[in-house]
Chains A and B, each alone.
Chain A
Amino acid sequence: MPNRERLYRTEGIVLKRNDFGEADRLLVLITPEFGKLRVLAKGVRKLPSRKAGHVEPFMRTQFLLARGRDLDIVTQAEAIEVYPGLRSDLGRMGYAFYMAELVDALAEEGGESQALYALVAETLRRLSSGDQPVLLMRFFELHLLDCAGYRPELQRCVTCGVKHEPTAVYFSFSEGGVRCPRCGEGVPGLLRLSLNAFKVLRYLQGNDLGAISGLRLRPETDRELQIALQRYLVWIIERNLKTLGFLSRVHGGTPGT
């Protein structure tokens, strides 16, 4: 930790929380300066708690924390942004849970994570205001991979190093990128990406969130991207994502859309 003051201030977004002891809750936060942070919020399950309404999941909150022996303790909390659209719509809330699970799985404790934090905050903001949630999730998944150090290589073939032509390509999870047709065709264990899906992926990787608002995808292209990104994520995290089942129930049938 950079400073040894007893109290310190940080902004954070609550990813997850579990009941702890009599009336306390253990919070998992994502913060800009300290990465993933586990802190204790005392007494927040009691009704007159002054902190309770500020430490619900997916709220951007200003925290004042006191260093504890094991866990740091929330002494003050004030919500900065509450993303009201997430609380009133089951579908969007489902996506927020999905984002929280991914960030919890991929974020590091203790490291600075400005870019990741900004990505989470901005994605929640757009999710809350109803900006094309499906495409938003694809953007989020791709850029989360960036922040976590798993940016997929989409410019050159990961096997022969030759710049990609506009053709269908083959996604290799273990090599962290795509192979050209010459290196990839017929190789078992690779995922074929159509030219369309490949183009969208490159576009999403090279642009910021503002660029997706004009984009419209065909359902089959979106489906392809969703499968590719989610399978890559599961491959990295090495376990199945619990929130995907919930998403499929909320959105009726198609897993994860």
Chain B
Amino acid sequence: MSLTPGPVGRLIEELSRLPGIGPKTASRLTFYMLRAPEAQVIALADAIRGLRAGTVLCSTCFNIAEHDPCPVCADQERDRGLICVVEEPLDVLAIERTRRFRGVYHVLHGALSPVDGIGPDELKMRELVERVRSGGVREVLLATNPTMEGDATAMYLARQLAPTGIRVTRLAMGLPVGGDLEYADEVTLGEALEGRRDV
């Protein structure tokens, strides 16, 4: 026999499915919401409801947006000849924060991971190749993560794009700001040495 009333138990169960939230945190959040002002709780519920109904995938870059095309693809100031390829929508936000990139994006929604059965067909790869083939593109910048899967994805794409003859670049690798040479791993440090530049 359970002491928690049905609706409380249901919310705890739903919350504890979220990443990073265990049953303890879920019950704490649930009981917080029981006591919180009603308007706040309703606002949260609306926000969750609106999340799926109010978002679409941009049909050009496959980023998550309110409207199709997304603001970046719709922006006439953006350089459409330069496509930055990233794994996840969050990576677009990270690159936008630098304010140094004026091109457009292409979101793959993942990286190749043979061990998990994620192959080229599970990602937006064919769409990228078609987009590049349809013309007007000068350069494709592969900004996948510097992990084994990200590297595999970049190499696979580079191979797919080779026949188009368009310039394909990869994000540089090097040391993080505030880092310490002593603790740098040899791959990163090696890449940083190779990619050194004049000051």
* Chain B residues near A79 (CB-CB < 8 A): 185-187
CA distance A97 to B20 in the complex (A): 28
Q: How far is the CB of A247 from chain B (nearest CB, A)?
A: 8
Q: Does A94 contact B (CB under 8 A)?
A: yes
Assess whether B151 is in contact with A94, with CB atoms less than 8 Å apart: no
CB contacts (< 8 Å) of B114 on chain A: these are 94, 97-98, 101, 242-243, 245-247
Flag whether B117 is at the interface (Cβ < 8 A).
yes
B40-64 contacts to A, CB under 8 A, are none
CA of A245 to CA of B113, assembled, Å: 11
Closest to B147 in A: A56
Closest to A58 in B: B148
Please determine whether A82 and B115 come into contact, CB atoms closer than 8 angstroms: no
A21 to B25, CA, bound (A): 14
Contacts of B187 in A (CB 8 A): 53, 56, 79, 82, 84, 87
The reply to whether A242 and B147 form a contact with Cβ atoms under 8 Å apart is no
In the complex, are the beta carbons of A87 and B115 less than 8 A apart? no
Do residues A90 and B152 form an inter-chain contact, with CB atoms below 8 A?
yes
Q: Residue A143 at the B interface, CB < 8 A? A: no
| Closest 10 A/B residue pairs (Cβ) | A53-B185, A246-B114, A242-B117, A243-B114, A97-B114, A90-B155, A50-B183, A57-B148, A47-B176, A53-B188
| A residues with CB within 8 A of B | 16, 21-22, 47-48, 50, 52-54, 56-58, 79, 82, 84, 87, 89-90, 93-94, 97-98, 100-101, 104, 242-243, 245-247, 249-250
B-side interface residues toward A, CB under 8 Å?
19-20, 112, 114-117, 119-120, 147-148, 151-152, 155-156, 159, 176, 178-180, 183-188, 190
